Structure 1
Amino acid sequence: MPVKDPVNDIVISGLGLVTPFGAGVAPFWRGLLEGRSALRPAGRFEAPSYRGEPVGEVPGPGPAAGTPRKSAYARAAIGEAVEAAGLPGVPRDALVILVGQAPYPGPETVADAASDPAAHREFLGPDPAGALGPAFAPGRVLHLSHACASAVFAVGFAREALRAGVAPLAVVAGSSVLNRYEYASMDVVRAVGREAARPFDTGRAGISLGEGGGAVVLEPAGHARARGHATDLVVAGAACRVAGAKAAASDAELIAGCMRDALADAGADRLDHVHAHATGTVQGDAAELAAVESIAAETGSDALPVTSHKGAIGHLLHISGAPALAAAALTLRTGTVPPTAGLTAAEGTDRVVLPTAPLRLPSARTAAVNSFGFGGNNATLVLRGV
């Protein structure tokens, strides 16, 4: 069991989001608690493979002309996160990990990109200068890509880097914009549902894609206290696994093994809540539910609350771990588990509760966040309230 060292615990100091509910963590949380869905036919997005399915578009007119939406969403999320962390901006000695499908290569490559440079730009990762500002030291920026588990992998990576003293503070950030490339990649494998996603519902038939941005500020607890910032959430455990020979998102034993490893890393013998990856696919949701059932049995839970945000805002792909972390964090902070939007006929379970309305859980201390992706990328974080 890991040795507890409160001074060197890695804590979440700030969170920031842009989602189809709007800019900010508060609108996202309010939408989840109300059980609302922001999924509807696109008003702005167009693609050859798009046939009118519900999607999660960020509302509003968007950034000024010439500003890539990916960079704008990432910058807005970073701004909220660093403000929540009590910082005037991203410190120059911070480690920044940008997550995305592909790194931003610079304006020359974008300008030369085939027949539609604007569409190509939406596929790329956020431009570091656009997301962080031109004054930030570029040598402190890393890019990490682990498919739809990228954000959770990045938080796990940042946790280890901070423990090793690589930097005094880390920022994990990224964004996702509905674009023709990623939409086609999901459509060609028949993952996209023709109706809004309904995670864990017996009538679920596929995912809905969304867009937005997310950011997480992490630092050692001692560092946060030294600068006068109160913290209440520890990243207590992490397990990031690559099992390329199997479809990890549809393999119950791989999922359970990842959760088991994260709980062991956290030294936790109980689990109060799981914010699931659950995208609304038939196979993926069933495998994850079976895995969580086995973990509930191992930890002695008879009614483990499990929820997903993807029926509310859709699947934000590589940055989907950011709203998942925010939802789990606010569950621990408020003692309330939000419902899963779109869930009306829940799968039958033995030891798991799938809320269709807000569920009070005032004694919750630990929450797991699951995130899985193509290529066998699977990750779990365990958060602990302090």
Structure 2
Amino acid sequence: MQVFKAMFKITKKRLPSALAYIIVFIVISVIASSNASKDSKFEMTKLKICIFDEDDTSESRELSELIAQNHDIVEIENDRDVIIDSLYYKRADYALVINEGYAEKLRAGDTADIFASYCLDESFSTVYMGQFLDEYTNSVKAYLSMGMPIDEALSCTEEALSQETDVSMLRNDKGGDAHYSVDFAAYFQYMPYILISAVFIIVCQVLVTMNRRDIRFRTNCSCISSSKYTFQLFLGSGFFVLAVWLLFMAVGVMLNKEMYTGRAWYAVFNSLIFSAVVAAIAVFVSSFEPADNILNLITQVLGLGLSFLCGVFIPREILSDKVLSVARFLPAYWYINANEMIADVIPFSSEGVIQCYLIQLGFAAALILLTLLVRKVRYSGAAISTNVRKTAVSH
């Protein structure tokens, strides 16, 4: 097992880079799990608003007080440049100007040009405050049209707009499963990207080192056969990938105490099979001995490419049919397909999940065969690729 031992000596030097990906993924997963909740309380958003009352009447002051009840009032100098700077640097979200003649026009039912504002185009605060002011003035006009005096109309409008209703945000999981919630399914959903990134950083770089010309020629001249050498490379790669996978499963137990119950077992096996696929991809890529910068590029292209095409980062229901047609030829698609079945995002079927397993295993087997073929062609022996020069020896 000399090759196996040599791999682990090299792995120790590369381990910190992979741990960075793994630790970040675990921390984000723990935070997301702790914040996950079935029910959440709706709370109205408060804006930072500055008000310039140029009318200075009881009617305008009453509007200012109503706005102050639901938002934070910011004092800013009434200067255009100062206001724009405040909006740009987020010291204020909205600047409202109550124009002179506001009260007179409101009594007459004319709401044109009674307000001016400074705001960022198409921002949330612009739409939010515009809708509020429209509701306020329309309510006042409605009460005035009923024959109410202005004071009573303003009072009724304030009472109507101040009504609060308790709202709870309920999420309806599609089918759901007692032991494999949608929240926990997200933990497995993003695992392919982390597996690819962490495994490629370690396994590929270690294998590229092991495939260096001087080391390979020395190995070919030793008593270790090419098949044993390749077998130990696969074994070492598989051992590291298994260690990373076991770490993720241990964290999964912390996030979901019922991980090893019911359908969650399907997700466990699904992630194990995909880990084997990732290991096979890493060994195959390393057989071409890419340089470090090329290897980093391949890692990002594979990690992000598979994630975006196959539904890791983007829900598959918003991907086009053409994208999904291409994704069917990638192993991550079948991993996500199985994960969504297990979480009841799409109808669950044990036969369908097993079919996804078999397709992923097919990808792994094909990659292993291609790796053996590539290694046989590229590394058939030191003597084949070494020029031997014959020299005469004088006696």
TM-score bracket, normalised by the shorter chain, equals under 0.3
Using the size of structure 2 for normalisation, the TM-score is: 0.24
**Structure ID, larger Rg:** 2
Higher-RCO chain (CA-CA 8 Å, sequence separation at least 6): 1
Higher helix share: 2
